Amino acid sequence: MEVELLKPFGPSILKVQIPREILNKLNNYTDEIILNKKKSDALNYGKKLAGDVTQEFTLESDFAKESGWMDFLGQCVFEYVKIASNKKITKFKLIQSWIVRQFKNEYNPVHWHTGHISGAGFLKVPENLGAYKQNKGERDYSGGNLNLIYGTKQFLSPSLYRIKPKIGDFYFFPNYLMHTVYPFKGTDEERRSISFNGLINDEIHNVYG
């Protein structure tokens, strides 16, 4: 029997790998910002974001360009839209990209982004995110996971996509897709992630015409 899995409902998600060279540049840049209090204060983005975490700061536009991060995002968004809608964008504008430094017992509540296309990925991940207080058998612990949420759970229609963080993994999704990160409790290591908001051609994004 030949079968074909169709996805006519719900938003598509694109998973990619951040190139190792860019990943190292992002981590080195972050380490430098952490040590530079003046620059950390100048780039502080925490007041505009939902998370209850240690630190959130924006990437400087010059660094986003020179590091290859902006080109990487643009290329991936082009492929994402092409695969998901069979349309080719001719415009990609990076609104903002930012680093999230999350530690034990911190979290990001359910929220969504601005722009057209957003994404989130992982630069550092603790070796141990923790475990359930009760014995949950084979069930994976959800602390520290990225949870993408859409609609309500129904038959053949799950509403939650749980992503276990892995260094270098990056996920693209439409800006309206709700998501959250629960607290983890394993070690004192940093869970470091990066996100962005971007714009594409209005005539492609505006499906209502």
Annotated domain spans of the chain: 19-133+183-205
Three-state DSSP state, 52: strand
Instruction: Indicate the pLDDT class of residue 180, thresholds 50, 70 and 90.
Output: very high
Q: Per-residue pLDDT for 123 more than 80?
A: yes
Across the range 177-191, mean pLDDT stands at: 96
- Higher model confidence: residue 139 or residue 123? 123
- DSSP alpha helices (H): ranges in the chain? 20-35, 37-42, 61-66, 69-85, 202-205
What pTM, to 2 d.p., does this model score?
A: 0.95
The edge-to-edge listing of strands for the beta sheet with 14-17 is: 14-17, 169-174, 117-124, 191-200, 92-102, 55-58
How far is the C-alpha of 192 from the C-alpha of 124, rounded, in Å? 5
Is residue 174 a contact partner of residue 112, using CB atoms and an 8 Å limit? no
Least confident range of 92-101, 149-158, 160-169: 149-158
How far is the C-alpha of 98 from the C-alpha of 164, rounded, in Å? 20
Output the average pLDDT for the chain.
95
- Taking the CA atoms of 178, 43, 169 and 63 in sequence, report the sign of the dihedral they define: positive
Q: Per-residue pLDDT for 156 more than 80?
A: yes
Three-state DSSP state, 47: helix
Q: Tokens 């899995």 belong to which residue?
A: 5
User: So what's the pLDDT on residue 9?
Assistant: 82
Interval 8-18: pLDDT, tens: 788 999 999 99
Three-state DSSP state, 4: coil
What residues contact 180, with CB distance under 8 A and at least 6 apart?
107, 108, 109, 110, 111, 147, 149
